Amino acid sequence: MIAEAESDAYRRVAPETAWPLSRGAGVLVGIVDSGVSAAATGLAGAVAPGRDVVAGGRADTDCLGRGTALAAVIAARPQPANLLSGVAPAARILPVRVNAAKGGIPPGKLAAGIRAAVDAGSRVVLVAVGAAPDPALAAAVAHAEARDVLVVAAVGNEKPGADGTPGPPWYPAAYPLVLAVGGVDAKGQATELVTGRAGLDLVAPGKDVHTVGTTGPGNYVIGGAPAAAAYVAGAAALVRSYRPGLKAAQVRRWLVDTAAPAGSAGRRLDVYAAVSAVAPAAPRTRGAAGVKPFALPAEKGHDPASRIAIGVVGLAVMLTIGLMFVVAVVRRRGHDAADAGSR
């Protein structure tokens, strides 16, 4: 579907509110999908050659268009004749092709794609598709965490069984070390049905999301959890650029804890809060409590208990001195009164 104007989804994300602080400069975002067209509108100069794990070689072309569409949501550069801009318009894109045709992707290919994106220097990796759980896929996610790379993935489920029971959740989104994202419409309703086992962490707009095609000036409309995950990946790029000292686990928690309550949908991405928040974020696991106050580090040679003891002693000394002063004043006034009476 061709779009003619700025989307409501983009207005709800409002990434430009965070641009005075960060535009994603210096952050490479890996997209594990169908490749990304370097010739796409708004992506000129933003796309690295990447890697094709299917056939070898580069991945800066895209015969399916999905990887390119997601890349534009993340990092499209503003164009004078086009209202579309990515969430992080100064970030760069590393395309990793894991499929060249429509259909499911084996978990081994996803695993190889994640590893390729990590090893090429990505600080954020977007996986917009899913597969069954697999040891190689779990190991690739652990590799990303060990290399301080944040993996953002779309939630979903495999096809339901013959009896209508929901299919198994998509991986890698269901792994605890992955930031799992679902899509919602303007009313906050989920764009696709997923089971609780899918491990949802965040939601973002996933309906009528405007993006670009592989070539030409037109804008197109996409939707679903993959589009929502692209918004979150862009926000992660903004945070990693503005706060380069945060580890991947901290950024994962930061994005969740700064998100806005979204009722039954969970928590909704808040780009401005994610970039501008000042509260510290420590590594969290899925389902953990929110941000807790950080204690100031104890001075060398003093533990917190000794500080309390010193404080109590100091307070006692101050009270004793104050009491002695009051007694002295009362006695002086008594002497003065006696002297006045004897005159």
State which residues form the domain around 97: 2-276
Give the type of residue at 216.
Answer: G
The reply to whether 177 and 318 lie within a common domain is no
Residue-wise pLDDT tens digits, 92-129: 999 999 997 777 899 999 999 999 999 999 999 999 99
Residue-wise pLDDT tens digits, 147-179: 999 999 999 887 766 777 777 899 999 999 999
Q: What is the mean pLDDT of the segment spanning 238-266?
A: 94
Under a CB-based contact definition with an 8 Å cutoff, are residues 224 and 154 in contact? yes
Checking if the pLDDT of 326 tops 80, the result is no
Checking if the pLDDT of 4 tops 50, the result is no
Q: pLDDT category, 215, cuts 50, 70, 90?
A: confident
Q: Is beta strand 150-154 parallel, antiparallel or unpaired with respect to 219-222?
A: unpaired
Could you tell me where the beta strands, DSSP code E, fall in the chain?
A: 2-3, 28-33, 51-52, 92-97, 124-127, 150-154, 179-184, 202-205, 209-212, 219-222, 260-261, 267-268
Q: What is the mean pLDDT of the segment spanning 212-228?
A: 89
> Is residue 90 in some structural domain?
yes
The reply to whether 27 and 168 lie within a common domain is yes
CATH number of domain containing 148: 3.40.50.200
Instruction: Choose one of 276, 308, 324: the last residue of a domain.
Output: 276
Positive or negative torsion for Cα 18, 19, 22, 27: positive
> Is residue 47 in some structural domain?
yes
> Is residue 107 in some structural domain?
yes
What SS3 class is residue 14? coil
Instruction: Choose one of 246, 276, 306: the last residue of a domain.
Output: 276
> Is residue 221 in some structural domain?
yes
> Is residue 76 in some structural domain?
yes
The reply to whether 72 and 170 lie within a common domain is yes
Q: How many domains does the chain have?
A: 2
Weakest-pLDDT range from 181-185, 215-219, 245-249, 266-270:
215-219
The reply to whether 50 and 115 lie within a common domain is yes
The reply to whether 138 and 206 lie within a common domain is yes
> Is residue 289 in some structural domain?
no
The reply to whether 192 and 319 lie within a common domain is no
The reply to whether 299 and 174 lie within a common domain is no
Q: Which residue has the higher pLDDT, 313 or 23?
A: 23
The pLDDT score that the predictor gives to residue 195 is: 65
> Is residue 281 in some structural domain?
no
260 exposed, middle or buried (CB, 10 Å; 0-12, 13-18, 19+)? Answer: exposed
Q: Mean of the per-residue pLDDT values for the chain? A: 82
> Is residue 283 in some structural domain?
no
| Tokens found for residue 338 | 């006696």
